[in-house]
A and B are shown apart, each in its own frame.
Chain A
Amino acid sequence: QSALTQPPSASGSPGQSVTISCTGTSSDVGGYNYVSWYQQHPGKAPKLLIYEVNKRPSGVPDRFSGSKSGNTASLTVSGLQAEDEADYYCGSYAAINGEVFGTGTKVSVL
């Protein structure tokens, strides 16, 4: 049950795009189309942004998009806004091993 690998940080100016990677194995990310992404602001609970690799829950702006290739999933935040500054975590269904999260990426809006 090793954590999925994410870059520790990413940044961009307002209006730009930032992409965060999430690398796992064939037992999690690569094995299922059940990758999710969460946004967490300091002191708050995580918020679901993306599920099933590329689907957005109601109310999540279409500036957030997800994709997957092999054992690596990605989250792209387009048109960066100040309120997008937060920690982002990927998660993957891992069958009998439950769920596994990524190491987290801190996104800064310059």
Chain B
Amino acid sequence: EAELVESGGGLVQPGGSLRLSCTATRFSLRAYWMHWVRQAPGKGLVWVSRINTDGRTRTYADSVGGRFTVSRDNDRNTVYLQMNSLRAEDTAVYYCARVGGSDPGAFDIWGQGTMVTVSS
């Protein structure tokens, strides 16, 4: 069964950086747009970023633009989220998700999530 596996989360101080990874297993990421979505503890889903198949088109939520960078390495079957200048309000579970079909906003496969905690 196709899966996405995130890694790289952890505890970081305000102003610090983290890089999250999302690796696909049992399918090739190459043909898919990929997104990052986050969920603060006890809160709802919030869209963060997306990247197209060749990595040339990237979009960000206003709340992370200028601080986060999404990228991909199709040869490694992995998508990344570089997070800089982290703030307490960035604390959340971060999910990567795949757009699997004709609906550009429908995510058919999600990773298990990786927790990012920003605190001193």
Please determine whether A92 and B45 come into contact, CB atoms closer than 8 angstroms: no
Assign chain A's interface to a size class.
Answer: 20 to 34
Please determine whether A92 and B105 come into contact, CB atoms closer than 8 angstroms: yes
With A52-B102, A91-B106 as contacts: A104 and B95 at CB distance below 8 Å: no
Q: Which chain A residues lie closer than 8 Å to B105 at the CB level?
A: 32, 34-36, 91-94, 99
How far is it, in angstroms, between the C-alpha of A38 and the C-alpha of B46 when the chains are bound?
A: 13
Interface string of B53-66 (1 = CB under 8 A from A): 00000011110000
Stretch with Cβ within 8 A of A (4 or more), from B11-19, B79-87, B110-118: B110-118
Interface string of A3-44 (1 = CB under 8 A from B): 100000000000000000000000000001011101010000
Q: How far is the CB of A20 from chain B (nearest CB, A)?
A: 13
With A36-B103, A96-B59 as contacts: A89 and B49 at CB distance below 8 Å: no
How far is it, in angstroms, between the C-alpha of A38 and the C-alpha of B50 when the chains are bound?
A: 18
Please determine whether B59 and A98 come into contact, CB atoms closer than 8 angstroms: yes
Q: How far is the CB of B57 from chain A (nearest CB, A)?
A: 10
Please determine whether B61 and A34 come into contact, CB atoms closer than 8 angstroms: no
Q: Which chain B residues lie closer than 8 Å to A55 at the CB level?
A: 103
B-side interface residues toward A, CB under 8 Å? Answer: 35, 37, 44-47, 49-50, 59-62, 95, 101-108, 110-113
Query: What would be 10 A-B contacts, judged by CB atoms less than 8 Å apart?
Result: A1-B61, A1-B62, A36-B106, A46-B107, A46-B110, A98-B47, A99-B35, A99-B50, A99-B105, A101-B37
